[in-house]
Structure 1
Amino acid sequence: MAMGGGAGGGHVRGRRRARKRPLSEINVTPLVDVMLVLLIIFMISAPLLTVGVPVELPKTEASAVETDQPPVTVSVDQEGAIFVQRDETAYDALLERVADAAGETEREDLSVFVRADGRAPYQAVARVMARLSAGGFTKLNLITDTAPEAEG
């Protein structure tokens, strides 16, 4: 038997040792893993960044208010207790606490957000707003939740 045409022999063609070349693509798997972890962290922490006094806001159809500077938030809870930012405040000390929270901002230029629980007594909310208005705070905003679409 004659061996012909390159069959046989000890050398196998086509099987060469692979050369290690630099990877020309970026491995995005670790990047995606990190981004998903950050997304989860931000989703969990975002609700905690709101003002700390838990109130159930009444529902309205008003739009959002645009403001240039960070406002001072005055909250009235279900029992009628008053909070400036997160600290409970007596009614008599309300103006001083709001002015302290405002810092260098003038009273006429400061936006004061009043957050009142929907179950809070109307008298408590009206007293707070009247006290702030009489104290020189002219930009008062009553914060509410947006209502769902009107039914029928």
Structure 2
Amino acid sequence: MAYANPLRGNGTPLAEINITPLVDVMLTVLIIFMIATPIVTKQITLPLAGGDKGKVEPRVMAVAIGEGGELRINDLPTSRAELEILMRAASAGSAPVRLEIRPQAQSRYDDLAEVLAMATRQGVSDLRVEALPAH
């Protein structure tokens, strides 16, 4: 904003900029950076290229749930007790286990929830549910 200086005789406006808001903003930004810098500089370890040499492939158990609640493991019919025993044996092994659950479109949700609960009880943590198309 321009003001006329009464002490000056020529009556030309005096152009001054109030830098107080600028200093306030700069100090606020400085404080934010001082707080955020230690958080951002935390070291993150990333996998290097070609680092998959020691990775063990998981053992895949494919469980299909039929419309009537029947279970099939790798296309072989099985009961719920046998499925639980197989999951327990697989999770006790040294190789990781991946459980791929494939429910039919008309199968009940309770059957899927039962298989998921069974897998959780047996310590299988790599779960995949694949939706099959309806016929």
TM-score by length of 2: 0.49
Structure with bigger strand share is 2
Structure of greater relative contact order (alpha carbons < 8 Å, 6+ residues apart): 1
Structure with bigger helix share is 2
TM-score by length of 1: 0.44
